[in-house]
Amino acid sequence: MKEFQIYLWDFQRIFIGEVPGVFYIEIIIRSVLIYIILIASMRLMGRRMASQLSRIEMAAMVSLAAAIGVPLQSPDRGILPALVIALMVVGIERGVSYFASKNEKFEEVTQDDLDTLVQDSVLQLDRMQKTRITKDRLCAHLRSEQVTHLGTVERLYMEADGSFTLIKNPEPKPGLNILPAWDEDFVNEMKFTNVMVCKNCGNEKQQSDNMCTNCATEEWDNAVIDSVKENKKQEFAPA
Protein backbone atom coordinates (compact mmCIF):
# COMPACT_ATOMS: atom_id res chain seq x y z
CA MET A 1 0.00 0.00 0.00
CA LYS A 2 1.34 3.40 -0.98
CA GLU A 3 1.61 6.33 1.41
CA PHE A 4 -1.08 8.41 -0.29
CA GLN A 5 -3.58 5.56 0.22
CA ILE A 6 -3.30 5.77 4.03
CA TYR A 7 -5.31 8.33 5.99
CA LEU A 8 -6.46 8.40 9.60
CA TRP A 9 -10.26 8.14 9.21
CA ASP A 10 -10.29 5.23 6.77
CA PHE A 11 -12.36 2.99 9.07
CA GLN A 12 -13.07 0.42 6.35
CA ARG A 13 -9.34 -0.18 5.88
CA ILE A 14 -8.70 -0.18 9.64
CA PHE A 15 -11.46 -2.64 10.61
CA ILE A 16 -12.16 -4.65 7.45
CA GLY A 17 -8.90 -4.39 5.51
CA GLU A 18 -8.25 -4.60 1.77
CA VAL A 19 -10.01 -7.93 1.22
CA PRO A 20 -13.48 -8.73 -0.12
CA GLY A 21 -16.19 -9.68 2.34
CA VAL A 22 -16.24 -13.29 1.16
CA PHE A 23 -12.74 -13.72 2.63
CA TYR A 24 -14.26 -13.64 6.12
CA ILE A 25 -16.22 -16.77 5.29
CA GLU A 26 -12.97 -18.30 4.05
CA ILE A 27 -11.31 -17.35 7.35
CA ILE A 28 -13.74 -19.64 9.17
CA ILE A 29 -12.72 -22.56 6.96
CA ARG A 30 -9.02 -21.71 7.33
CA SER A 31 -9.34 -21.41 11.12
CA VAL A 32 -10.94 -24.84 11.43
CA LEU A 33 -8.27 -26.48 9.27
CA ILE A 34 -5.41 -24.68 11.06
CA TYR A 35 -6.90 -25.64 14.42
CA ILE A 36 -7.00 -29.30 13.37
CA ILE A 37 -3.37 -29.10 12.18
CA LEU A 38 -2.29 -27.51 15.48
CA ILE A 39 -4.11 -30.04 17.68
CA ALA A 40 -2.78 -32.95 15.62
CA SER A 41 0.77 -31.58 15.82
CA MET A 42 0.61 -31.18 19.59
CA ARG A 43 -0.90 -34.66 19.93
CA LEU A 44 1.96 -36.15 17.91
CA MET A 45 4.55 -34.33 20.02
CA GLY A 46 3.25 -35.95 23.21
CA ARG A 47 1.67 -34.99 26.51
CA ARG A 48 4.48 -32.64 27.57
CA MET A 49 3.14 -30.06 25.09
CA ALA A 50 0.23 -29.60 27.51
CA SER A 51 2.52 -29.21 30.54
CA GLN A 52 5.63 -27.17 31.30
CA LEU A 53 7.71 -27.06 28.13
CA SER A 54 11.38 -27.81 27.62
CA ARG A 55 13.54 -25.71 25.31
CA ILE A 56 12.96 -28.02 22.35
CA GLU A 57 9.21 -28.06 22.88
CA MET A 58 9.11 -24.29 23.32
CA ALA A 59 10.99 -23.86 20.03
CA ALA A 60 8.53 -26.23 18.35
CA MET A 61 5.57 -24.27 19.71
CA VAL A 62 6.98 -20.94 18.51
CA SER A 63 7.68 -22.41 15.07
CA LEU A 64 4.12 -23.71 14.81
CA ALA A 65 2.71 -20.34 15.85
CA ALA A 66 4.81 -18.52 13.24
CA ALA A 67 3.79 -20.93 10.48
CA ILE A 68 0.09 -20.99 11.32
CA GLY A 69 -0.44 -17.25 11.73
CA VAL A 70 0.32 -16.37 8.11
CA PRO A 71 -2.38 -18.35 6.22
CA LEU A 72 -5.00 -17.19 8.72
CA GLN A 73 -4.57 -13.54 7.73
CA SER A 74 -3.23 -13.52 4.17
CA PRO A 75 -5.68 -14.47 1.40
CA ASP A 76 -2.79 -15.05 -1.02
CA ARG A 77 -1.18 -17.68 1.23
CA GLY A 78 -2.33 -21.28 1.17
CA ILE A 79 -2.65 -23.74 4.05
CA LEU A 80 -0.35 -26.37 2.50
CA PRO A 81 2.91 -24.56 3.47
CA ALA A 82 1.72 -24.39 7.08
CA LEU A 83 0.98 -28.13 6.98
CA VAL A 84 4.47 -28.88 5.60
CA ILE A 85 6.09 -26.73 8.30
CA ALA A 86 4.01 -28.43 11.00
CA LEU A 87 5.11 -31.88 9.77
CA MET A 88 8.76 -30.77 9.76
CA VAL A 89 8.49 -29.33 13.28
CA VAL A 90 6.84 -32.50 14.59
CA GLY A 91 9.46 -34.67 12.91
CA ILE A 92 12.38 -32.68 14.32
CA GLU A 93 10.90 -32.57 17.83
CA ARG A 94 10.21 -36.30 17.90
CA GLY A 95 13.69 -37.02 16.52
CA VAL A 96 15.37 -34.90 19.19
CA SER A 97 13.26 -36.51 21.92
CA TYR A 98 14.15 -39.99 20.65
CA PHE A 99 17.91 -39.39 20.63
CA ALA A 100 17.72 -37.59 23.99
CA SER A 101 16.13 -40.69 25.54
CA LYS A 102 18.98 -42.83 24.17
CA ASN A 103 21.94 -40.57 24.95
CA GLU A 104 22.30 -38.60 28.20
CA LYS A 105 25.00 -36.33 26.76
CA PHE A 106 22.77 -35.42 23.82
CA GLU A 107 19.90 -34.76 26.24
CA GLU A 108 22.10 -32.46 28.32
CA VAL A 109 23.24 -30.51 25.23
CA THR A 110 19.74 -30.07 23.81
CA GLN A 111 17.67 -29.72 26.98
CA ASP A 112 20.22 -28.63 29.62
CA ASP A 113 20.74 -30.23 33.03
CA LEU A 114 19.64 -29.54 36.59
CA ASP A 115 21.70 -27.41 39.01
CA THR A 116 21.88 -27.44 42.80
CA LEU A 117 21.27 -23.91 44.09
CA VAL A 118 21.09 -24.73 47.81
CA GLN A 119 23.01 -27.60 49.38
CA ASP A 120 22.84 -28.42 53.09
CA SER A 121 21.38 -24.97 53.90
CA VAL A 122 24.15 -23.11 52.02
CA LEU A 123 23.67 -21.07 48.85
CA GLN A 124 25.77 -22.35 45.95
CA LEU A 125 26.73 -18.95 44.57
CA ASP A 126 28.78 -20.30 41.64
CA ARG A 127 25.79 -22.33 40.39
CA MET A 128 23.48 -19.36 40.91
CA GLN A 129 25.80 -17.20 38.80
CA LYS A 130 25.92 -19.87 36.08
CA THR A 131 22.12 -20.09 35.93
CA ARG A 132 21.73 -16.28 36.34
CA ILE A 133 19.53 -16.67 39.42
CA THR A 134 19.86 -13.78 41.86
CA LYS A 135 19.78 -14.19 45.61
CA ASP A 136 16.62 -12.07 45.80
CA ARG A 137 14.78 -14.29 43.32
CA LEU A 138 15.90 -17.48 45.04
CA CYS A 139 14.85 -16.19 48.46
CA ALA A 140 11.51 -15.05 47.02
CA HIS A 141 10.85 -18.58 45.76
CA LEU A 142 11.78 -20.09 49.13
CA ARG A 143 9.45 -17.69 50.93
CA SER A 144 6.66 -18.76 48.57
CA GLU A 145 7.30 -22.30 49.85
CA GLN A 146 6.79 -21.12 53.47
CA VAL A 147 10.55 -21.13 54.16
CA THR A 148 11.85 -18.36 56.43
CA HIS A 149 15.48 -19.43 56.85
CA LEU A 150 17.99 -21.65 55.06
CA GLY A 151 18.26 -24.10 57.95
CA THR A 152 15.07 -25.80 56.77
CA VAL A 153 16.42 -26.38 53.24
CA GLU A 154 18.36 -29.54 52.44
CA ARG A 155 18.37 -29.10 48.66
CA LEU A 156 16.95 -26.67 46.13
CA TYR A 157 17.31 -27.81 42.52
CA MET A 158 16.75 -25.80 39.39
CA GLU A 159 15.44 -28.31 36.86
CA ALA A 160 16.30 -28.32 33.17
CA ASP A 161 12.94 -26.71 32.32
CA GLY A 162 13.58 -23.80 34.70
CA SER A 163 11.31 -24.96 37.53
CA PHE A 164 12.46 -25.35 41.14
CA THR A 165 12.35 -28.45 43.32
CA LEU A 166 12.61 -27.95 47.09
CA ILE A 167 13.62 -30.73 49.49
CA LYS A 168 13.23 -29.66 53.10
CA ASN A 169 15.56 -30.74 55.87
CA PRO A 170 13.78 -33.36 58.03
CA GLU A 171 15.68 -32.00 61.04
CA PRO A 172 15.87 -28.19 60.61
CA LYS A 173 18.94 -26.47 62.01
CA PRO A 174 19.80 -22.79 62.56
CA GLY A 175 20.16 -21.00 59.25
CA LEU A 176 20.41 -17.63 57.52
CA ASN A 177 17.29 -15.49 57.80
CA ILE A 178 15.78 -14.84 54.32
CA LEU A 179 12.96 -12.53 55.38
CA PRO A 180 13.10 -8.95 54.04
CA ALA A 181 15.04 -6.72 56.45
CA TRP A 182 12.37 -4.01 56.24
CA ASP A 183 9.69 -6.35 57.60
CA GLU A 184 10.79 -5.74 61.18
CA ASP A 185 7.59 -7.06 62.77
CA PHE A 186 8.09 -10.48 61.21
CA VAL A 187 11.87 -10.51 61.65
CA ASN A 188 11.48 -9.67 65.35
CA GLU A 189 9.40 -12.83 65.77
CA MET A 190 12.32 -14.99 64.67
CA LYS A 191 14.19 -16.98 67.31
CA PHE A 192 17.87 -16.06 67.13
CA THR A 193 20.72 -18.33 68.22
CA ASN A 194 24.39 -17.80 68.96
CA VAL A 195 25.36 -19.76 65.85
CA MET A 196 27.01 -17.45 63.33
CA VAL A 197 26.44 -17.92 59.60
CA CYS A 198 27.73 -16.10 56.54
CA LYS A 199 25.50 -13.16 55.74
CA ASN A 200 26.00 -13.77 52.01
CA CYS A 201 25.54 -17.53 51.58
CA GLY A 202 24.50 -19.01 54.94
CA ASN A 203 27.64 -21.08 55.51
CA GLU A 204 28.16 -21.80 59.22
CA LYS A 205 31.14 -20.13 60.86
CA GLN A 206 33.71 -22.29 62.60
CA GLN A 207 35.67 -20.99 65.56
CA SER A 208 38.84 -20.45 63.55
CA ASP A 209 37.10 -18.77 60.59
CA ASN A 210 37.38 -15.05 59.93
CA MET A 211 36.42 -15.45 56.28
CA CYS A 212 33.67 -17.62 54.84
CA THR A 213 35.12 -20.78 53.32
CA ASN A 214 32.33 -20.85 50.74
CA CYS A 215 32.26 -17.29 49.36
CA ALA A 216 35.18 -15.48 51.06
CA THR A 217 32.86 -12.94 52.73
CA GLU A 218 33.75 -11.56 56.15
CA GLU A 219 30.23 -10.54 57.20
CA TRP A 220 28.44 -12.78 59.69
CA ASP A 221 24.97 -12.85 61.22
CA ASN A 222 23.17 -14.76 63.93
CA ALA A 223 21.37 -17.80 62.59
CA VAL A 224 17.67 -18.25 63.31
CA ILE A 225 15.38 -21.18 63.87
CA ASP A 226 11.59 -21.45 63.84
CA SER A 227 9.81 -18.22 64.72
CA VAL A 228 8.44 -17.46 68.17
CA LYS A 229 6.32 -14.65 69.54
CA GLU A 230 9.11 -13.14 71.61
CA ASN A 231 12.41 -12.19 70.03
CA LYS A 232 15.30 -13.47 72.11
CA LYS A 233 18.71 -15.01 71.62
CA GLN A 234 19.07 -18.59 72.68
CA GLU A 235 22.18 -20.58 73.39
CA PHE A 236 22.56 -23.13 70.61
CA ALA A 237 25.77 -25.10 70.38
CA PRO A 238 27.19 -25.55 66.86
CA ALA A 239 27.17 -29.13 65.62
* pLDDT tens-place string over residues 79-138: 888 888 888 888 888 888 888 778 878 777 776 778 899 999 999 999 999 888 899 999
134 phi/psi in degrees, rounded to 5? -80, 160
Give mean pLDDT, residues 214-229.
80
User: In Å, how far are 13, 56, 154 from 113, measured between CA atoms?
Assistant: 50, 13, 20
The reported pLDDT for the residue numbered 124 is 94
